[in-house]
Amino acid sequence: MTERSDAGVVAGATTTDRPLIRLDGVNKWFGPLHVLQDVDLSVARGEVVVVIGPSGSGKSTLCRAINRLEPINSGTITFDGQPLPAEGRALARLRSEVGMVFQSFNLFAHKTILENVTLGPTKVRKEKAASVRDRAMKLLERVGIANQAEKYPAQLSGGQQQRAAIARALAMQPKAMLFDEPTSALDPEMVGEVLDVMTSLAREGMTMVVVTHEMGFARHAANRVIFMADGQLVEDAAPDEFFANPRSERAKDFLSKILTH
Amino acid sequence: MSVLVDHFDVFVGGFWLTFQLCILSAVGALALGALVAVMRISPVPPLRWIGTAYVTVFRNSPLTIVWFFAAFGLPALDSNADFLRIPGLSSIFSRLGIDLPYFRFAVIALSLYTAAFVCEAIRSGINAVPPGQAEAARAIGLTFGQNLRYVVLPQAWKSAVVPLGSVIIAMIKNSALAGFFGVVGELSNSAQNLTSALGEPIIPVFVGVSIGYLVMTVPLGILLDRIEQRRAVAAR
């Protein structure tokens, strides 16, 4: 048990009340560019947080910082009560508990869809091949591409690839899932199939941080909407409230630009 | 041209010795080069420095100088490279096991020098793998070593194999220096014996020698072209 969770128990709170993801005063620079400015954020277990904002606002960087694909310059990020360790085995273990879905899918090009899904559990968790295979097939069935299991990523459509990538992340039985613009690289007719899978995940209580431009998804699947601009968290509100009454000028401006067309 | 027929056994013997030298050096260079490549991309800074220093030194020095240090530096350090007298191996490659160390020095010089180029060919292959592949591998919790082994290297290999082949072809040609560093009877050296000791005419002898090298390099080149063509079809 960590000190933090002991304190939580003393205060009468159960460990599930502790935020699963917590960012305190996080700063990140790309050279002279201050992409994350004193960002504070906490995400509770089972919560679905959608991050929106204009491009260059730092939302992808925020998402990638949570599993340290992007190291930060100052501040702290804790996952499940544990501060993110430095690069190494401990970090690899932590990453295995955080699923990540990328804009460009990033399926392993030299492996079949099934091998993509089973690689993590067999090599990282050293699970038995047979049981991993069963679970992988169930996951592929769940995302609707079980019949593509033996194909290579290049043989699948973008929507199918992204669903495979979600299955690959879920195969690690993660505590949370990060989505970095999961539908931005997809043809319009394939966006729906990916959002459907994400919506069902959200309903089942998966903790999710989703960077997206899909306002429909934000409205119906999110518990909270975070609006980012210029590296700062500008607004943090329930979706109904945010879309009906954005408080900041930046958010009003952003919404007027995307909702008028 | 009768020398080619009269002394056919000399040419074959020279070819065979050069061939052995090249096989051993290629294995050594590929293994060492792969190791240096992994060091150069490792997350541990001192390993990266060593890898970079290695490539800087051996890629930028003339082979003759490297070979000079192997053939004269090792004896000065009281070493006859006896660690290369590997029991099973010296029964196949008999020159490895003999008392005269020059064949072993040749293997060391060629391996050290070529490894720098092998490293860079492998590294260019690694750089050709889209960064998203390694990122996805890290995101599911693979360690650096697992990432290389299961995700990056299997893909890097595909774009590294053709430049690697060119490096090995260059190495085969470079092996012609061996005779100047005491490896008696390798292909180029046997030519010298024929011309200076037996007084055979120079031109026909060197035609024979070039045929010997071409027999090794041309098939390797053709093999690389095949691999490249297959890749081009697969990429379409």
Structure tokens at A189: 């007719």
Asked if A202 and A193 count as a contact pair (C-beta separation under 8 A), the reply is no
Chain B residues lying within 8 Å of A102, measured CB to CB: 132, 135-136, 139
**Per-residue confidence (pLDDT) for residue B98, from 0 to 100:** 81
Min distance A227 CA to chain B CA atoms (Å): 25
Asked if A232 and A38 count as a contact pair (C-beta separation under 8 A), the reply is yes
Report the alpha-carbon distance of residue B230 to residue B224 in Å, rounded.
10
* pLDDT tens figures, B211-223: 999 999 999 999 9
Q: Please give the average per-residue pLDDT across B6-34, as a whole number.
A: 94
Beta pairing partners, A24: A76
Tokens 């049981």 belong to A131
**Per-residue confidence (pLDDT) for residue B91, from 0 to 100:** 80
Structure tokens at B184: 């008696």
Q: Do A172 and B141 touch (CB under 8 A)?
A: yes
**Per-residue confidence (pLDDT) for residue A8, from 0 to 100:** 36
Asked if B109 and B29 count as a contact pair (C-beta separation under 8 A), the reply is no
Q: Do A92 and B142 touch (CB under 8 A)?
A: yes
Reported confidence tier of residue B7, pLDDT bands at 50, 70, 90: confident
Asked if A239 and A251 count as a contact pair (C-beta separation under 8 A), the reply is no
Tokens 């082979």 belong to B63
pLDDT averaged over chain B? 91
Min distance B104 CA to chain A CA atoms (Å): 39
Residue type, A37: Q
Torsion of CA A8, B141, B52, A109, to 10 degrees: -150
For residue B139, give the nearest of A69, A104, A105 by CB distance: A69
Interface test with B, best of A110, A115, A132, A172 (most B CBs within 10 A): A110
Report the alpha-carbon distance of residue A232 to residue B113 in Å, rounded.
53
**Per-residue confidence (pLDDT) for residue B236, from 0 to 100:** 47
Report the alpha-carbon distance of residue B157 to residue B161 in Å, rounded.
6
Q: Do B141 and A106 touch (CB under 8 A)?
A: no
| Contacts with A154 (C-beta within 8 Å, 6 or more apart), sequence order | A109
* pLDDT tens figures, B78-130: 888 888 888 888 888 888 878 789 999 999 999 999 999 999 999 999 999 99
Residue B43 at interface with chain A, using a CB cutoff of 8 Å = yes
ipTM for the complex shown:
0.88
Q: Do B155 and A93 touch (CB under 8 A)?
A: no
For residue B132, give the nearest of A92, A97, A104 by CB distance: A104
For residue B135, give the nearest of A69, A87, A110 by CB distance: A69
Task: Please name which of A15, A29, A131 lies closest in space to residue A72, comparing C-alpha atoms.
Answer: A29
Residue in chain B closest to A101 (alpha carbons) equals B136
Residue B234 at interface with chain A, using a CB cutoff of 8 Å = no
Q: Edge to edge, what strands does the sheet with A207-211 contain?
A: A98-101, A176-180, A207-211, A48-52, A224-229, A232-237
Tokens 């100047």 belong to B180
Residue type, A196: D
**Per-residue confidence (pLDDT) for residue A135, from 0 to 100:** 96
Helix, strand or coil, per DSSP, at residue A132: helix
How many C-beta neighbours within 10 Å does residue B223 have?
12
Q: Please give the average per-residue pLDDT across B166-182, as a whole number.
A: 94
Between chain A and chain B, how many beta carbons pairs sit less than 8 Å apart? 66
For residue A123, give the nearest of B138, B150, B154 by CB distance: B150
At residue B73, does pLDDT exceed 70?
Answer: yes
For residue A168, give the nearest of B140, B150, B154 by CB distance: B140
Pairing of strands A82-83, A74-79: antiparallel
Please give the span between the terminal C-alpha atoms of chain A, in angstroms, as a whole number.
Answer: 52
Q: What's B96's domain CATH number?
A: 1.10.3720.10
What would you report as the CA-atom Rg of chain A, rounded to the nearest whole angstrom? 19
Residue type, A245: N
Q: Do B133 and A168 touch (CB under 8 A)?
A: no
* pLDDT tens figures, A81-99: 999 998 889 999 999 999 9
* pLDDT tens figures, B53-64: 999 999 999 999
Chain B residues lying within 8 Å of A92, measured CB to CB: 138, 141-143
- The angle formed by the CA atoms of residues A101, A105 and A107, to the nearest 5 degrees, is 105
Chain B residues lying within 8 Å of A168, measured CB to CB: 136, 140
Interface test with B, best of A106, A112, A152, A175 (most B CBs within 10 A): A106
Asked if A107 and A164 count as a contact pair (C-beta separation under 8 A), the reply is yes
Pairing of strands A207-211, A176-180: parallel
Residue B152 at interface with chain A, using a CB cutoff of 8 Å = no
Pairing of strands A21-30, A33-43: antiparallel
Asked if A48 and A177 count as a contact pair (C-beta separation under 8 A), the reply is no
**Per-residue confidence (pLDDT) for residue A6, from 0 to 100:** 40
Min distance B81 CA to chain A CA atoms (Å): 38
What would you report as the CA-atom Rg of chain B, rounded to the nearest whole angstrom? 20
Sign of the four-CA dihedral B85, B88, B90, B93: negative
**Per-residue confidence (pLDDT) for residue A26, from 0 to 100:** 96
At residue B32, does pLDDT exceed 60?
Answer: yes
Domain, as residue range, for B62: 2-235
Mean pLDDT per 10-residue section of chain A, whose length is 261 residues: 38 62 95 94 95 92 95 95 90 95 96 96 95 96 95 95 97 96 93 95 95 93 94 94 92 86 59
* pLDDT tens figures, A143-155: 999 999 999 999 9
Q: How many domains does chain B have?
A: 1
**Per-residue confidence (pLDDT) for residue A15, from 0 to 100:** 52
Report the alpha-carbon distance of residue B75 to residue B69 in Å, rounded.
9
